[in-house]
Amino acid sequence: MDYPKVEVTEGLARLTVPAGGSSRGPGTRSRLPFYNPAMAVNRDLTVLALRALGSGRLWDALTGSGALAARVGRECPGWTVTATDWNPAAVELARASLAANGAAGEVVHHNARKGPPAGTFTHVDIDPFGSPAPFLPAAFAVEGLRTMSVTATDTGALCGVFPEAALRRYGVRLVRTPCLREIGVRSLLGYCARVAADSSLAVRPLFATAAEHFLKVVFAVERGEPPPPRYFSLNELGQPMWAAEGYGPVWGGPLFDATWLRQVSVPPWMPHGTARLLDTMVGEADGPAFYWTTSHLAGKLRQAPPRLTDMIRRLRERGYGATRTHFDPSGFRTEAGLKAVADIFPGH
């Protein structure tokens, strides 16, 4: 296949990719090898996770132009890569990317829906265009699997904006809430946990994030029983709270392994935005489920929204823990209840 190409740099890797890629949004599906520069932060996070995990064998299940595979070869010492794609043009381009960057590994023409390629892998990365659901059974069938990273760009379904799609693709009943991005990653994690349970496996989140136009979860895979599913309802301000029944099932456990996350370090070649995202995740890692947003509260209480720093300060002055969340620029986490939050809000 003949098509225009350009050279770009991402991380430490020099890549040859199809010309004309968008710098914003989830990208556009086409017959060309897939490369979306707007997803660089997503690949940053995978690289950070692999560097923190030490060494192993990666199955890059949907490699596209080979960006992640090439970056792992340059930025993750101790890791070897098997990259796969169903598109022969992508396989050809990814092989060139690995060779140009001296990456240890191979690129194989393979349909990731049909099962894992030959070999054992300690980490699997699933980063599709759209929903990761069709690829998860094959990922959990991998021999030697210890950890996994899963990305979804069908955020409207997982976050409750399109409830019918959520029910159809993920078997979860959702509604739109003020903390829709957290609901999104809890929906995705819950689905991953249910698929893992079919192979007598359990997942333990290392971190979960929503950035740009995607949701991402990174988790350890272990033998064991999955936690029971959890459901949520909405209080009078429309804020989610755990309930015996209602919307769900979603992941009800922690989204972050705070101890592990604090050991992750950002190398100097990564952008400041990636470092800032990691710092904010570390800050909220011990916080309770379901963040609040000053913008939503202002609408419900018919008051002008305060500055986020002022809201957090007022909560702390009253003795409540409070911290920013990376999920929303006006969001904060606190163990304070509904009445306390409303009372602290300006004008009450």
pLDDT 10s digits, 94-127: 999 999 998 889 999 999 999 999 999 999 999 9
Q: What is the pLDDT of residues 253-295, one digit of tens each?
A: 999 999 999 999 999 999 999 999 999 999 999 999 999 999 9
The answer to whether residue 38 scores a pLDDT higher than 80 is yes
Q: Which percentage of the chain shows pLDDT scores above 70? A: 95
CATH topology for the 5-284 domain: Rossmann fold (3.40.50)
Instruction: Pick the range with the lowest mean pLDDT from 124-128, 203-207, 236-240.
Output: 236-240
Is the C-alpha dihedral spanning 40, 279, 190, 331 positive or negative? negative
The first and second tokens of residue 159, run together, are 């976050």
Phi, psi of 203 (to 5 degrees): -110, 150
Distance (Å, whole) CA 253 – CA 335: 16
The answer to whether residue 348 scores a pLDDT higher than 60 is no
The first and second tokens of residue 46, run together, are 């995978």
Mean pLDDT of the chain: 93
Distance (Å, whole) CA 214 – CA 26: 8
Confidence of residue 22 (pLDDT cuts 50, 70, 90): low
Quickly count: other Cβ atoms within 10 Å of residue 24's Cβ. Answer: 10
Q: Taking phi first (over 0 means left), then psi (-120 to 50 degrees means alpha), and beta for anything else, what does residue 102 get? A: left
The answer to whether residue 332 scores a pLDDT higher than 80 is yes
The domain limits of the chain are 5-284, 292-344
Q: CATH 3.30.56.70: does it fit domain 292-344?
A: yes
Strand partners, 173: 248
> Can you spell out the DSSP letters for 30-73?
-SSPP--GGGHHHHHHHHHHHHHH--EEEEETT-TTTHHHHHHH
The answer to whether residue 186 scores a pLDDT higher than 70 is yes
64 neighbors 94 (Cβ within 8 angstroms): yes
Relative to beta strand 105-109, strand 79-85 is parallel
Distance (Å, whole) CA 327 – CA 178: 11
